[in-house]
Amino acid sequence: MRPHHGQTIDVESLDDFRARVAAGARSMYGWHLQSLDLTGQSDAIRALDVAGALFLGCVLNRPDEESVRERGALVFPQVPGSPVDSYRPALYSARELYAGIENGYETTLDACAYAWSRQPRSRDLTLAQALHDHAIDDALAAERAGRRVVGIMGGHSLTRGSGPYGDAARLAHELARAGLTVATGGGPGAMEAANLGAYLAPHAAAELDKALAMLARVPSFTPSVRDWVGAALDVLDTWPVGADSFGIPTWHYGHEPPNPFATRIAKYFSNAIREAVLLEYADGGIVFLPGAAGTVQEVFQDACENYYADASSVAPMVLVGNDFWTRELPAWDLLGSLASERDMAARLYLVDTVDEVVPILAA
């Protein structure tokens, strides 16, 4: 049972519920019970004062559900037809999202959730997705607490086995070894490389090189997501112990499967919420690797946050690739002009290689 002071108590496991009952609880006022199977708890539920309690996606016997409603509790059932738990108390894992992939990607929770989200809009669909993303927000906030998070942004099109893919992995490897928690957009390409490098932080660089060689056999998730995920799971089976990192993908881009190397996956239906959360939580700074429109959007979205921030909360922005950011996609000059005479100017960096990043962010 987690200690708690205040009027709201999140009860997210049966053990927590039983412990509170055993400790002498008489009232459930302010309790938020989330995704619990309470069909075996009838005696306790009938004995407690449930007025002011909130049952979110819980399973109750029909008489118990009618009883708690009559006695002043609010009951929000699961939305019919939804493949996801709209009240889930935890983030996803790759093995949860990809369970059953040996039978085809289309059978997995990840694919089913995307297909469901593409249905014509309805109140039930909109409500289920909004509740789900709110639950993911709560779970991510709890997991993020106490960590110094650094974001790594970059293109989704990087293929396994390429030089830039290896560079992104080695950058994250060094950042994680320096004590930072890596966060990415959770997808393929540079995002996968970064989550891979962070995951293998407890292991030597030579082990990361071996993993990169294993993955190079399946360069992309096209034409087969199953083979792409299978190669990643082989790496995870070879190195079963790794460091935590965050992946924050979205079903908005359902054609891009989440990479399996993030140990904490906060997958949203709303891309707008996902983008805002990803930038907000990277208090240790963000590294921008070469990318396309999505990466450029993230550069200036982060710049907007820093532009209006007070001096104590400006986070570093590190753009990697001098030629790329000054000539190919010349965002650097505009960024510099925007930052002129602002506190953020001192936290902008343009470097040519990933080797120059760690001394900046790990200082």
341 φψ region: left (φ > 0), alpha (ψ -120 to 50), beta (else): left
Residue 2 has pLDDT above 50, yes or no: no
Ramachandran category for residue 286: left, alpha or beta (phi over 0 → left; psi -120 to 50 → alpha): beta
What is the pLDDT averaged over residues 10-32?
94
- 285-342 pLDDT per residue, tens: 999 999 999 899 999 999 999 999 999 999 999 999 999 999 999 999 999 999 999 9
Distance CA 133, CA 351 (A): 36
Q: What's the CATH number for 140-284? A: 3.40.50.450
**Dist CA 288 CA 332 (whole Å):** 11
Q: How far apart are alpha carbons 342 and 308 in whole angstroms?
A: 9
Helix 123-144 vs helix 109-117: crossing angle, to nearest 10: 130
Average the pLDDT over 174-199 and give the result: 98
Return d(Cα 33, Cα 53) in angstroms, integer: 8
Q: Is the pLDDT of residue 7 over 80?
A: no
Domain boundaries, the chain: 9-76, 140-284
Q: Can you read off the two tokens belonging to residue 238?
A: 């070879």
> What does residue 120 show for φ and ψ, rounded to 5 degrees?
-55, 140
Please state the φ and ψ torsions of residue 268, each to the nearest 5 degrees.
-110, 155
End-to-end CA distance of the chain: 38
pLDDT of residue 149: 98
d(CA 211, CA 233) in angstroms, rounded, equals: 11
* pLDDT over 90 at 273, yes or no: yes
Burial of 197 (0-12, 13-18, 19+ CB in 10 A): buried
Q: What is the mean pLDDT of residues 101-121?
A: 95
Q: What is the pLDDT of residues 62-106, one digit of tens each?
A: 999 999 999 999 998 888 889 999 999 999 999 999 999 999 999
Q: What is the DSSP letter of 268?
A: B
The answer on pLDDT for 58 being more than 50 is yes
Q: Given a cut of 90, is residue 124 above it in pLDDT?
A: no
Strands in 181-184's sheet, in edge-to-edge order, are 264-265, 246-247, 181-184, 149-153, 286-288, 317-320, 348-351
Percent of the chain whose pLDDT exceeds 70: 98
pLDDT at 77: 87
Which residues, 6 or more positions from 29, have their beta carbon under 8 angstroms from its beta carbon? 7, 49, 51, 52, 53
d(CA 211, CA 268): 28
| DSSP codes of every residue in 338-362 | HHTTSGGGGGEEEESSGGGTHHHH-
Over 80: is that where the pLDDT of 3 sits? no
User: Could you tell me if 245 and 182 are in contact, meaning their C-beta atoms sit under 8 angstroms apart?
Assistant: yes
Residue 286 to residue 278: CA distance in whole angstroms:
10
Residues 6 or more apart in contact with residue 282 via CB below 8 angstroms: 149, 150, 151, 183, 302, 315
* pLDDT at residue 244, rounded to an integer: 98
- Number of Cβ atoms within 10 Å of the Cβ of 291: 23
pLDDT at 4 over 60: no
Whether 5 shows a pLDDT value over 80: the answer reads no
As a whole number of angstroms, the distance between CA 268 and CA 291 comes to: 22
Computed over every residue of the chain, the mean pLDDT equals 94
Report the C-alpha gap between 346 and 316 in whole angstroms: 8
The arithmetic mean of pLDDT across residues 2-22, rounded, is: 81
pLDDT at residue 272 greater than cutoff 60 = yes
Is the pLDDT at 351 greater than 90, yes or no? yes
pTM for this entry: 0.89
The identity of residue 8, as a single letter, is T
For residues 204-226, give the mean pLDDT: 97
Please tell me the predicted confidence (pLDDT) of residue 80: 84
CA distance 187 to 248: 8
